[in-house]
Amino acid sequence: MTANIESIIDPQVSSRIKEIGRLSTLPQVTWELMRLLGDENTTPDDLQKVVEQDPALSAKVISLGNSAYYGLRTPATTISRAIVIIGFKELEFLALGLGLADTFDLRKVPHGFDGEGLWLHSLSVSWTAREVAAATRLVDPGEAMLAGLLHNLGQIMLVTHFTVQLQRLMNYVNEKRSFLEAEADLGLWHEAIGYLLAKNWGMPKYLQDVILYHHRPDIATGSKSTVEVVNLAIQLVSMTDFGLEHETQPADSPTYLDIMPKMNKDDKEKILEKIKITLPLMAPTWLQMMGPISGTKKPRRRTG
């Protein structure tokens, strides 16, 4: 399937992806964190050193460490104090999310598209995928977290770099066609677009697999467990207020219940209950993360 991916995408889009692949990439600090996450010998000190290399990122991590979610009585004024408070796993999560926000500014999206919704969905799936991975022990939770964060890279690309094509897509959808049907007809299949970029960027194979197959774990040819964990996370998130209408499962793909037997029923219920409480609590912090690391604009807050 991966051999002919380019042939099913709008040719203008696929040639532009190559250009973007050369010109724009995730910040160096994000790549370094990804490398460290994959290395079992990584120590907390290693992570701290990487975050400290980037003063703007450090400042944002400190500010997030002081956010209401963590309920601090004493303000965290240093990166090391912020790291102790928010914990290493969450530091990785925040730093990687900030890297993604630095590359793709989802505050600037075409009128009518909910950029904040897409951002919150990506982080919700990332958070939930980590919970599912920890409960099932199918894959490393850090790997699942990163895969969840990047699974919709193609959609993020579409709304930030292909606004003309996105408008065509939305016009199609307004004519009462499904998002999936519109993507297929116009050669704007977001899984394939994300996969091509991930491949051009030289992302690890498991990320490429998750990006390509996150709605179709049944036909995944590699990294099947990670793809399934992320797919489960998407389905769990769809049961909260953070699901996306256009991210519904294709009608012929496996449902939540087809995959869920691999997971203890109590674990499933526990995760669902937990994310229904945690996601709304984290959302304001996640919205605060939007925008470039070096940006000076005040973050927008969702009021509704």
Q: Which residues bind Fe ion (CB under 5 A)?
A: 152
Provide, rounded to whole angstroms, the least separation between the CB of residue 244 and Fe ion: 8
Instruction: Identify which of residues 124 and 152 has a Cβ nearer to Fe ion in the complex.
Output: 152
Instruction: Identify which of residues 42 and 248 has a Cβ nearer to Fe ion in the complex.
Output: 248
Q: Please tell me the distance from the alpha carbon of residue 46 to that of residue 53, in angstroms, as a whole number.
A: 11
Provide, rounded to whole angstroms, the least separation between the CB of residue 301 and Fe ion: 26
Residues 6+ apart with CB under 8 A from 38: 143, 204
Provide, rounded to whole angstroms, the least separation between the CB of residue 6 and Fe ion: 19
- The token duo for 239 is 């049961």
Residues 6+ apart with CB under 8 A from 72: 65, 66, 85
Instruction: Identify which of residues 254 and 292 has a Cβ nearer to Fe ion in the complex.
Output: 254
- As a whole number of angstroms, the longest Cα–Cα distance in the chain is 56
Instruction: Identify which of residues 152 and 226 has a Cβ nearer to Fe ion in the complex.
Output: 152
Total residues belonging to the chain? 304
- How wide is the angle at C-alpha 166 spanned by C-alphas 164 and 169, nearest 5°? 115
Instruction: Identify which of residues 30 and 152 has a Cβ nearer to Fe ion in the complex.
Output: 152
Q: Please tell me the distance from the alpha carbon of residue 122 to that of residue 29, in angstroms, as a whole number.
A: 20
Provide, rounded to whole angstroms, the least separation between the CB of residue 20 and Fe ion: 19
Instruction: Identify which of residues 244 and 271 has a Cβ nearer to Fe ion in the complex.
Output: 244
Provide, rounded to whole angstroms, the least separation between the CB of residue 214 and Fe ion: 6
Using Cβ positions, the residue closest to Fe ion within the complex turns out to be 152
Provide, rounded to whole angstroms, the least separation between the CB of residue 28 and Fe ion: 27
Instruction: Identify which of residues 65 and 154 has a Cβ nearer to Fe ion in the complex.
Output: 154
Phi and psi at residue 212, in whole multiples of 5°?
-75, -35
Q: Please tell me the distance from the alpha carbon of residue 49 to that of residue 287, in angstroms, as a whole number.
A: 26
Provide, rounded to whole angstroms, the least separation between the CB of residue 45 and Fe ion: 36
Q: Please tell me the distance from the alpha carbon of residue 148 to that of residue 202, in angstroms, as a whole number.
A: 18
Classify the C-alpha dihedral 60-145-193-255 as positive or negative.
Answer: negative
Residues 6+ apart with CB under 8 A from 289: 60, 64, 94, 97, 98, 101, 123, 299
